[in-house]
Amino acid sequence: MIAERGLASTRIADVAERAGTSPPAVLYWFGSKDDLLTDALTVDEDRFYGAMTERLAALERPRHRLRLLIEACAAEYDWALWMELWGRALRDRGAAAARQRLDDRWREQIAEVIRDGQQAGEFAAGDPDDAAAIIAAVLDGLAVQVTLGDRAIPADRMRDLTVRSAELLVGCELAPLDERALAAGPSEEPRPWAS
């Protein structure tokens, strides 16, 4: 509902109808509209994060993992909900806490890929937390433009620009994902195109 109608114009009655029940029933479970909204905003992010963790684990090489991260953000994720959460976090304590938790986890996810890449010798040295913060910021910033339909930044340009930024930061080319990379399970194929 929030993704469709926006946080501001999502009514309890809408949620109830979609759930095939009545407004008081919604209140029965959530207590108040505020609680409902704050809970709802984090569900999608949590699901995306979970799926991403699985898919990352299926890729062996850090350079592929980093590329997948970026591609998924540019092509699959619904940033409208994320932006609604930002707006709410400006004034709502619960929303602010939820955002902090999700963002910490997300940046850590990126930083871990970078650390792996450095240990594997694929990525150049440098503070992985700094690089993660910058990559996350580029994704957020460009995603806003894409989501708002900016003429200058369609989704594929978002992907290309983010990939380029990441390449500069880790000093390693992030080749496009092909079936080999996506299908590759852990611990096989000893670096066929190693740098």
Partner DNA sequence: GTGTAACTTGAACGGCAGTTCAGTTTTTCG
Partner DNA sequence: CGAAAAACTGAACTGCCGTTCAAGTTACAC
Q: What is the DSSP string of the chain?
A: -HHHH-STT--HHHHHHHTTS-HHHHHHHHSSHHHHHHHHHHHHHHHHHHHHHHHHHT--SHHHHHHHHHHHHHHT--HHHHHHHHHHHTT-HHHHHHHHHHHHHHHHHHHHHHHHHHHTTSSPPS-HHHHHHHHHHHHHHHHHHHHTT-TT--HHHHHHHHHHHHHHHHTS--PPP-HHHHHPPSS-S--TT--
Q: Is 23 in the site for DNA (CB under 7 A)?
A: yes
Q: Which stretch binds a second copy (CB under 8 A): 67-75, 116-124, 133-141, 186-194?
A: 133-141
Q: Is 32 in the site for DNA (CB under 7 A)?
A: yes
Contacting DNA (CB under 7 A), which of 13, 97, 137, 175? 13
Q: Is 149 in the site for a second copy (CB under 8 A)?
A: yes
Contacts with a second copy in 28-87 (CB under 8 A)?
Answer: 80, 83-84, 86-87
Total number of residues that touch DNA (CB under 7 A): 15
Binding site for DNA (CB under 7 A): 9, 11-13, 21-25, 27-29, 32-34
